């Protein structure tokens, strides 16, 4: 590929790469083969606009992203340091013209990421079968684990598939369909690869007779404890329920709205292909969203230990520290995932080195004893490698964010204040901070939405249900998303949600939007 | 070597980028009237580029409203303190009314902008009056010569010649491919004179700067002149602008002074017309130039006598030589607005005279259409 030849690393960096790879491997990291390429800033901007891939399907938003990146680079606002793709082999890009120290730092960071891609369980969902199709999470592991993750190829194939469709149907039509798909792209079920949600029933069993469960009682008490007319009432209720269930479609709510549309929406063949492509790509990016804090934390942990260990020489330490401080900076009270992640890993390492876990530690009330608690277990390193394999952001925070950590790192929650028309610090109370953080990360920051009924009101309408957990949907976006949904479903579409603590149903029938207050 | 990669690479995103630009053009077109009346893009003019702020085009999703959401932060402060006050994103003051709404600045060339204006207002292309007799001569470096200055040496050609000679004379050694150009090998770029007819145009802006023209009125003129410039520049290769201000007397000034000056004297419009006629006679022979006088005032003139002088001047010395004569009357609280009536009475059916009343900023668009809609 001409691209690869033109962008191969110069010799002196190639040498560095070999050295860093060896050191990283010695430190316990276990990564896919990693290919570095050197890009000029406009090539970098292009690749970044494509989400790290050299080839994507055609869409204007990549052009918009490119314009934004190019602008902010020209104005000196930001510069992309590092980019790495979850692919086997992994591809990573270095920016031409960065100093040698920066390039070393980036390489160390990249090996951290690639180790994470290979070993964290969430990324198993991006393994492909030998034909390049998406398969269910596999359980292989260890040094023999060599999954097919040729997503660079897959994305390029998606690109040519969509281009073929464009040739036939015209860019306007295809692009507007892609717009529609992107509007719905977050309506997927992030755990579907790990859980069998739908089992094929061997054969529909004949409905058995309805048995109303009875409370246990002595014979002579039975007619009081299980009164006849109550049993009768229950029987009719259950019967009615079964009757209702008969026509229900889908039989149980489905979170993978995209799949439901793919299977049931009246789409043309090319529309189905495009929607399928968009869905596959949406799933590809899920693990990265689920592990942002861990992934960046892990990479930062390792770039820091590698650089200050064997990689950087003494003349580079100041430059390294400056670059590192820039990455770790927290400004304007915003949470920096790099910082949060790396500090959490360090705190876990320290706790397991000193034995600060388990029942004895939890039950100890004496602050003096706690301060000097050190069982010299030295389990820290082993523990963090285990954590990087078995956790995602939600479970990571849930398990390892301690009150001491929240206090040391000055975490707080903030909320919009209508009174002063701005965001204000709400509280530093540990429980609330943790709750809010977890809520933010749940379902990779997206509302949980199900397909409730594909034949709503027996009129072929689509009913979605938003599982409301305290935060309303943004209403103007929700309206536009319904419009997009209607474009695929072609019948009226509704979503049940809440607005200002009242249950509402938003509906779009193809010409008009309406919002009805509904009883839950 | 490096260039070819860049070229190849850029082509890929270029398609997506140009699709995006198209969408942006649509947005600008949609909002053109607002942009025009607010004069938003004027202060931002670079050489040929205008930066236009447009709201970031976002793909709607089922997502959380950002105000309800809040979040977790890190740093100093007590409950009740503002978070991220330096950050425009997190919503302080007006900029953050809709938090999360980013502003995207896109660069548009003046040419493109004029095109959008043309499409939106359905402006016809200007018929050239056949005054293309000016020949501009341009040097183009297309040829190769054996002699020339070192600075024009064509390196590749020179090297090729040297290589040819080396191989022919058997000096060339593939194992040690050293090629030294000699004097005879040297090749230089040379130029040819390309001659092309150019249609030139001159815009003569005249403005009343007497006391009754306030800042708002001048701003309107400024906005309007920006668009007239943009449109005419698209139509002609070389466009010159000249500026005349007048109260009771007229003088020629540069662009900056034109919009800044404020006098308090009376108004003699004829003084400006005289100067304009003078300028045309002196510098812009009508057989070579397309001439566009634009006059803006609040319609107050010193006396009827002076108005008669103006009309006389226009009839005798202006209209026969110009493409059109445009008069824009900006409404001001002090002006009587009489002048436009006089003009309309005199030239009501004369196609060369175009008059337009500009009541306020919102009327600018229509007045541009009045002026440029005839295709003159």
The residue assigned the tokens 């050293």 is B178
CB–CB of A381/A388 below 8 Å?
Answer: no
Asked whether the beta carbons of B62 and A449 are under 8 A apart, the reply is yes
CA distance A253 to chain B (A): 17
Give the pLDDT confidence score for residue B2 in this predicted structure.
36
Q: Which B residues 93-112 touch A at CB under 8 Å?
A: 96, 104-106
Read off the pLDDT of residues A392-429 as tens digits, 9 standing for 90 and up.
Answer: 999 999 999 999 899 998 899 988 888 877 888 888 99
Nearest to B237 by CA among B352, B131, B141, B121: B131
Residue A260: inside a domain: no
Select from A414, A442, A470 the last residue of a domain: A442
Task: Answer yes or no: do A397 and A466 share one domain.
Answer: no
Q: What is the pLDDT of residue A199?
A: 58
What's CA A164's distance to the chain center, in Å?
A: 30
Q: Please check whether residue B83 is in contact with residue A414, taking contact to mean a CB–CB distance below 8 angstroms.
A: yes
Boundaries of domain holding A487: 447-517
Among residues A331, A329, A308, the alpha carbon closest in space to that of A320 is found at A308
Q: Which candidate from B9, B19, B86 shows the least CB-CB separation from A60?
A: B19
Q: What's the Rg (C-alpha) of chain A?
A: 27
Q: Considering only residues 57 to 96 of chain B, which have any Cβ-Cβ distance to chain A shorter than 8 Å?
A: 57, 59-87, 90-92, 96
Q: Return d(Cα A476, Cα A478) in angstroms, integer.
A: 5
* B8, closest residue in chain A (CA to CA): A3
Option in A59, A331, A427 nearest B79 (CB):
A427
Residue A438 domain flag: yes
Distances (CA, A) of A429 to A36, A362, A406, A412: 45, 19, 9, 7
Q: Are residues A372 and A474 in the same domain?
A: no
pLDDT at A163: 94
A339 & A402 share domain: yes
Please tell me the distance from the alpha carbon of residue A127 to that of residue A118, in angstroms, as a whole number.
10
B54 closest CA partner among B72, B34, B68: B34
Indicate the residue of A71, A185, A413 with minimum beta-carbon distance to B72. Answer: A413
Tell me: do A336 and A412 sit in the same domain.
yes
* Nearest Cβ partner for B64 among A473, A480, A481: A473
* pLDDT tens digits, one per residue of A342-354: 999 999 999 999 9
Task: Identify whether residues A356 and A430 lie together within a single domain.
Answer: yes
Measured between CB atoms, does B11 come within 8 Å of chain A? no
Domain C-terminal end among A384, A417, A442: A442
Claim to verify: residue A433 and residue A369 sit in the same structural domain: yes
**Cβ neighbours around A449 below 10 Å, total:** 24
pLDDT computed for residue A487 by the predictor: 95
Total tally of structural domains belonging to chain A: 2
**Is B139 within 8 Å of B152 (Cβ atoms)?**
no
Averaged over successive runs of 10 residues, the pLDDT of chain B (376 residues) comes to 39 84 84 76 62 78 76 83 56 33 72 83 71 65 87 90 91 87 90 73 87 81 85 80 88 84 79 90 84 88 85 87 88 79 84 86 87 78
CA-based nearest residue to A386, from A483, A260, A298 = A298
**Alpha carbon distance B298, B334 (integer Å):** 8
Neighboring chain A residues of B8 at a CB cutoff of 8 Å:
2-3
- Name residues 159-178 of chain A within 8 A of B (Cβ): 171, 175
Q: With CA atoms as reference, report the closest residue to A309 among A16, A24, A21, A17.
A: A24
Within a domain: residue A58? Answer: no
Residue from A343, A439, A161, A196 nearest B71 by CA: A439
Q: CA-to-CA distance for B17 and B308, rounded, in angstroms? A: 57
Whether A468 and A435 map to the same domain: the answer is no
Cβ-based neighbours of B314, under 8 Å, separated by 6 or more:
B273, B325, B347, B353
Please report whether residue A414 resides in a domain: yes
User: A16 — contact with chain B (CB < 8 Å)?
Assistant: no
For residues B34 and A413, what is the distance between their CA atoms, to the nearest angstrom? 40
Tell whether A277 is covered by a domain. Answer: no
Find the CB nearest A332 among B56, B61, B87: B87
In this structure, the answer to whether residues A426 and A341 fall within a common structural domain is yes
| Residue B363 near residue B357, CB atoms below 8 Å | yes
> Are A377 and A396 part of one and the same domain?
yes
Its ipTM equals 0.83
Residues of chain B contacting A422 with CB distance shorter than 8 Å: 82-83, 85, 90-92, 96
How far does A355 lie from chain B, in Å, by closest CA? Answer: 28
Cα–Cα dist A250/A262, whole Å = 14
Helix A41-49 and helix A60-74, axial crossing angle in degrees, nearest 10: 140
φ, ψ of residue A305 to 5 degrees: the values are -75, -35
Angle between helices A380-390 and A337-354 (to 10 degrees): 130
- Is B13 within 8 Å of A427 when comparing Cβ atoms? no
Q: Containing H/E element for A199?
A: none
Decide if A370 is inside a domain.
Answer: yes
Along chain A (520 residues), what's the average pLDDT of each consecutive run of 10 residues?
63 93 93 92 89 92 88 74 89 90 93 95 86 65 77 94 95 94 93 69 62 82 85 86 76 90 94 95 93 95 92 89 87 84 95 90 85 88 94 94 90 85 87 90 89 89 91 90 95 92 92 81
Q: What is the CA radius of gyration of chain B?
A: 29
Question: What are the C-alpha distances in Å from A288 to residues A117, A283, A376, A515?
Answer: 9, 10, 35, 35
Interface of A with B in 94-133 (CB under 8 A): none
Q: Which positions in chain A touch B55 (Cβ < 8 Å)?
A: none
Residue B169 contacts A, CB cutoff 8 Å? no
Alpha-helical segments (H) within A364-503: 367-371, 380-390, 393-400, 403-408, 430-441, 475-489
> Residue ranges of the alpha helices (H) in A291-448?
292-306, 317-328, 337-354, 358-363, 367-371, 380-390, 393-400, 403-408, 430-441
Q: Hey, CA dihedral for B171, B175, B178, B179, is it positive or negative?
A: positive
Q: Which residue of A has its CA nearest to B22?
A: A60
The answer to whether B63 contacts A473, with C-beta atoms less than 8 Å apart, is yes
Q: What is the DSSP-derived secondary structure letter of residue A308?
A: I
Same domain as A392, residue A485:
no
Query: Which pairing describes strands B238-246 and B134-145: parallel, antiparallel, or unpaired?
Result: unpaired
CA atoms of A96 and A463, how far apart (whole Å): 51
Closest Cβ–Cβ partner in B18, B72, B83 for A437: B72
Could you tell me the two tokens for A298? Answer: 């892990």
Q: Are residues A505 and A484 in the same domain?
A: yes
Confidence at residue B130, expressed as pLDDT on a 0 to 100 scale: 54
Taking an 8 Å cut-off on Cβ atoms, the answer to whether A332 and B62 are in contact is: no
- A381 and A455 inside one domain: no
* A477: nearest CB among B56, B63, B71: B63
Among residues A423, A442, A461, which one ends one of the domains?
Answer: A442
pLDDT given at position B174: 86
């Amino acid at each position: 590929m001409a691209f690869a030849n033109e962008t191969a690393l110069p010799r002196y960096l190639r040498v560095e790469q070999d050295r860093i790879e060896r050191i990283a491997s010695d430190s316990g990291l276990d990564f896919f083969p990693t290919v570095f390429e050197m890009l000029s800033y406009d090539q970098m901007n292009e690749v970044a606009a494509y989400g790290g891939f050299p080839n994507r399907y055609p869409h204007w938003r990549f052009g918009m992203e490119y314009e934004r990146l190019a602008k902010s680079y020209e104005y000196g606002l930001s510069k992309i340091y590092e980019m790495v793709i979850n692919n086997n082999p992994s591809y990573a890009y270095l920016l031409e013209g960065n100093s040698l120290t920066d390039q070393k730092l980036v390489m160390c960071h990249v090996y951290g990421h690639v180790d994470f891609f290979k070993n964290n369980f969430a990324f198993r969902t991006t393994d492909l079968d030998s034909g390049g199709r998406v398969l269910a999470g596999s359980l292989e592991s260890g040094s023999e684990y060599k999954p097919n993750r040729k997503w660079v190829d897959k994305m390029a194939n998606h690109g040519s598939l969509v281009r073929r469709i464009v040739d036939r149907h015209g860019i306007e039509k295809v692009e507007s369909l892609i717009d529609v798909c992107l509007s719905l792209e977050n309506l997927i079920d992030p755990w579907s690869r790990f859980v069998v949600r739908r089992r094929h029933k061997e054969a529909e069993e004949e409905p058995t007779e309805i048995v109303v469960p009875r409370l246990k009682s002595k014979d002579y008490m039975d007619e009081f404890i299980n009164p006849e007319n109550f049993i009768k009432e229950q029987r009719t209720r259950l019967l009615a329920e079964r009757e209702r269930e008969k026509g229900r479609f889908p039989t149980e709510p489905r979170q993978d709205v995209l799949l439901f549309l793919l299977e049931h929406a009246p789409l043309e063949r090319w529309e189905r292909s495009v929607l399928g492509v968009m869905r596959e790509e949406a799933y590809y990016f899920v693990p990265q969203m689920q592990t942002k804090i861990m992934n960046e934390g892990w990479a930062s942990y390792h770039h820091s230990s590698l650089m200050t260990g064997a990689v950087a020489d003494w003349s580079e330490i100041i430059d390294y520290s400056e670059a590192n401080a820039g990455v770790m900076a927290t400004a304007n009270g915003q949470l920096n995932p790099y910082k949060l992640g790396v500090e959490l890993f360090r705190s876990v390492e320290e706790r397991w080195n000193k034995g600060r876990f388990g029942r004895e530690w939890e039950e100890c009330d004496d602050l003096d004893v706690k301060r000097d608690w050190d069982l010299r277990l030295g389990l820290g390193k082993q523990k963090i490698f285990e954590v990087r394999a078995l956790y995602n952001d939600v479970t990571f925070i849930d398990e390892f964010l301690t009150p001491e950590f929240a206090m040391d790192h000055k975490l707080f929650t903030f909320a919009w204040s209508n009174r002063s028309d701005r965001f204000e610090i709400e509280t530093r109370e540990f429980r609330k901070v943790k709750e809010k953080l977890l809520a933010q990360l749940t379902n990779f920051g997206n509302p949980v939405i199900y397909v409730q009924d594909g034949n709503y009101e027996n009129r072929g309408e689509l009913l979605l249900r938003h599982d409301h957990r305290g935060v309303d949907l943004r209403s103007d976006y929700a309206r536009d998303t319904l419009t997009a949904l209607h474009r695929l479903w072609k019948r009226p579409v509704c979503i049940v949600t809440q607005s200002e603590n009242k249950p509402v149903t938003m509906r779009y029938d193809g010409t008009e939007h309406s919002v009805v207050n509904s009883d839950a | 070597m490096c260039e070819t990669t860049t070229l190849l690479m850029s082509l890929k995103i270029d398609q997506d980028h140009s699709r995006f630009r198209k969408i942006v053009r649509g947005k600008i077109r949609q909002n053109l009237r607002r942009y025009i009346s607010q004069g938003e893009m004027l202060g931002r003019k670079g050489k040929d580029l205008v930066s236009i702020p447009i709201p970031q085009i976002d793909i709607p999703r089922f997502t959380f409203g950002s105000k309800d959401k809040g979040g977790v932060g890190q740093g100093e402060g007590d409950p009740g303190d503002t978070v991220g006050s330096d950050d425009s994103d997190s919503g302080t003051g007006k900029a953050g009314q809709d938090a999360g709404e980013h502003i995207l600045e896109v660069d548009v060339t003046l040419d493109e902008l004029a095109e959008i204006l043309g499409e939106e207002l359905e402006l016809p292309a200007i018929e050239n009056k056949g005054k293309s007799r000016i020949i501009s001569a341009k040097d183009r470096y297309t040829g190769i010569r054996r002699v020339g200055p070192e600075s024009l040496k064509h390196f590749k050609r020179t090297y090729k010649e040297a290589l040819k000679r080396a191989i022919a004379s058997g000096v060339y050694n593939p194992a040690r491919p050293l090629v030294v150009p000699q004097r005879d090998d040297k090749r230089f770029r040379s130029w040819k004179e390309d001659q092309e007819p150019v249609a030139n145009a001159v815009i003569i802006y005249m403005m009343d700067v007497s006391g009754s023209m306030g800042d708002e009125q001048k701003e309107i003129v400024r906005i309007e002149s920006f668009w007239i410039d943009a449109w005419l520049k698209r139509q002609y290769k070389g466009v010159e602008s000249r500026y005349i201000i007048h109260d009771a007397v007229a003088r020629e000034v540069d662009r900056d002074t034109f919009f800044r000056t404020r006098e308090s004297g009376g108004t003699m419009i004829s003084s400006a017309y005289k100067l304009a006629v003078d300028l045309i006679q002196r510098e812009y022979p009508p057989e070579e130039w397309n001439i566009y006088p634009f006059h803006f005032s609040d319609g107050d003139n010193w006396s009827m006598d002076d108005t008669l002088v103006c009309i006389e001047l226009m009839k005798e010395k202006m209209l026969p030589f110009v493409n059109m004569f445009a008069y824009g009357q900006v409404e001001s609280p002090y002006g009587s607005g009489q002048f436009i009536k006089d003009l309309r009475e005199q030239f009501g059916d004369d196609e060369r005279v175009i008059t337009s009343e500009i009541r306020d900023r919102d009327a600018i668009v229509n007045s541009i259409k009045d002026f440029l809609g005839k295709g003159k």
